[in-house]
Amino acid sequence: MVRALSRSYHVPVVAVDPALIPGDEEQRLAAVQRYDILDTPADGTFDRITALAARLFDVPIAIVSVVDHDRIWFKSHHGLAVDQIDREPGLCASAILQEGPWIVNDAPRDPRALANPLVAGEFGLKFYAGVPLRTSDGHSMGTLCILDLQPRELTPRETGILEDLAAMVMNEMELRLASRRQAELAKERELLQDAFAGMLSHELRTPATTIYAATRLLSRDATVMSSDLAQDLFPDVTAETERLLRLIEDLLVLTRVERGLLEPGQEPILLQRVLPRVVEQEGRRWPDRSIRLDVGPDLPPVSGDQVYLEQVAANLLSNGLKYSTPGTGVDVSAVQVDDEVEVRVRDRGIGLRSDNREAIFELLFRTAEGSRHAGGAGIGLYVCRRLLEAMNGRIWAEAAPDQGTVFAFRLPVASD
């Protein structure tokens, strides 16, 4: 069980030791300002990472720190009731000078730390392990660190896990920085700005933490899968990873659309290879629904971009499965119609009113029935339409013969 520590501790203000100032200090501080993280409110994303670190290593304290010019500010501080300390004590300030992890196993006996006020004073720190949070341009803005009041050592595997957790912290910061820049670019385009803001604030942030925390840990060592941690995290990982990847792919398309850079390739693609792969992938996500695939082996290749075509097929199939009910099936078929190939995805779900069959492909549009049935951002079908139009194709929706909806699209047959 993780030990809790709630004492407050203040370190006297002293001048920063020049030996603790990196050679790139001016550029490093500029990077800290660029991420706009200092003095921001507490955030569940980072708090979950420090709580996870404390639980994994069974330590009382885990911190996400940012080293400012005269202080060390804590974006997240699990087990410690202070928001910042002065920079001079030197633990995080020393850690950012390193290329890799900086570990003090027995601080009172370590010449690097024995004079530190946190070690020599009433706090009684015995163990410190910190990994620098390195920006994309190579500056260390702070650390993810764990602290203990008992001496201890980390195995190479544990050190690797701590580095992975630090990478999650930095990935989250990079994601937020990229998101903020995209939002700024979209200020004069109100509709796309709403799309970015809605997806980033409601659809992306929450699963990002689960994904980064779980996939890094679970994929490194198969034995972890039998642990209590794996049993706790893995169900969320399997559901949220696929969802986040699709959102990121759709966001990239929105970005290219907004910047006028959506230029898909035009290559021959065999749907009898693409569609089974998408069906298998989506079938794993929806084990309580059946998928029937009907694609002839002699279907001619279509002209388009394979990555984008797989994205369209996955979006449509996922959409059909999401709005179906457990125990029902989705039909996927592909046939040649003159000089085009038509793909149809038929579900047996909630259906679609005739007056919404065009609007459903607009950005951010969601029907009232769809909103009540399942969550979503109103982006996937818009992305499908834009991708197919860019590949000289088209998409439409129609009522299924008895229950549900058919989403269909056509692409031109590839020329010789």
| Residue 340 forms part of a structural domain | yes
Q: Which long-range contacts (CB under 8 A, 24 or more apart) does 6-12 make?
A: 6/79, 6/81, 7/81, 7/123, 8/81, 8/82, 9/80, 9/82, 9/85, 9/118, 9/122, 9/123, 10/82, 10/85, 11/85, 11/86, 11/88, 11/89, 11/117, 11/118, 12/86, 12/117
Please provide residue 85's backbone torsions phi and psi, each rounded to the nearest 5 degrees.
Answer: -135, 170
Residue 329 lies in a domain: yes
- Domain for residue 377, yes or no? yes
Contact of 391 with 311, CB cutoff 8 Å: no
Nearest to 300 by CA among 208, 175, 413, 171: 413
Count of the separate structural domains present in the chain? 3
The Cβ of residue 226 has, within 10 Å, a number of other Cβ atoms equal to 9
What is the Cβ-side half-sphere exposure of residue 248, based on CA atoms within 13 angstroms?
12
Same domain, residue pair 298 and 384: yes
What pLDDT shows up at residue 364?
80
Q: How far is CA 13 from the centre of its chain?
A: 39
Q: Output the pTM of the full model.
A: 0.48
Cα–Cα dist 102/115, whole Å: 17
Report which of 407, 395, 416 is spatially closest to residue 351, judged by C-alpha positions.
407
Question: Quick check: helix, strand or coil at residue 345?
Answer: strand
Residues 246 and 292 in one domain: no
Residues 144 and 50 in one domain: yes
Q: What is the largest CA-CA distance in the chain?
A: 83
Phi, psi (5° rounding) for residue 218? -70, -30
Q: pLDDT at position 1, please?
A: 36
Residue ending a domain, choose from 236, 261, 286: 261
- Reduced to 3 states (helix: H, G, I; strand: E, B; else coil), residue 144 is strand
**Parallel/antiparallel/unpaired status of strands 340-346 and 71-78:** unpaired
Element (H, E) at 123: none
Of 171, 179, 149, 20, give the one whose Cα is nearest residue 93: 20
Positive or negative, the CA dihedral 367, 332, 390, 336 is negative
Residues 75 and 112 in one domain: yes
Kindly state whether residues 209 and 158 are assigned to the same domain: no
Is there a single domain that holds both residue 201 and residue 162?
A: no
Last residue of a domain, one of 174, 195, 219: 174
310 and 390 both lie in a single domain: yes
pLDDT computed for residue 191 by the predictor: 62
pLDDT in single tens digits along all 416 residues of the chain:
334 443 333 444 444 556 668 778 889 999 999 999 999 998 889 999 999 999 999 999 999 999 998 889 999 999 988 898 888 766 888 888 888 999 999 888 888 787 777 787 778 889 999 999 999 888 999 999 999 999 999 999 999 999 999 999 999 999 998 888 877 766 655 565 455 545 654 566 567 656 655 665 665 666 766 777 776 766 666 666 767 767 777 777 777 776 677 788 889 999 999 999 999 888 877 777 889 999 988 899 999 999 899 999 999 998 888 888 777 889 999 999 999 999 999 988 888 887 788 888 888 877 777 667 666 667 888 989 999 999 999 999 998 888 889 999 999 999 86
Which residue in 316, 350, 341 sits closest to 331, CA to CA?
316
Burial 314-328 (b: 16+ CB within 10 A, else e): bbbbbbbbbbbeeeb
Tokens of 118: 């946190």
Q: What CATH number should be reported for the domain holding residue 194?
A: 1.10.287
Beta strands in 135-289 (DSSP E): 140-148, 267-269
Handedness of CA 318, 324, 327, 332 (dihedral sign): negative
Give dist(CA 164, CA 157) in Å, integer: 11
List residues bridging with 412 in a β-sheet: 340
Domain membership of residue 388 as a residue range? 267-412
Has residue 14 been placed in a domain? yes
User: DSSP string of 253-304?
Assistant: HHHHHHHT------EEE-HHHHHHHHHHHHHHH-TTSEEEEEE-TTPPPEEE
| Domain final residue pick, 126, 150, 174 | 174
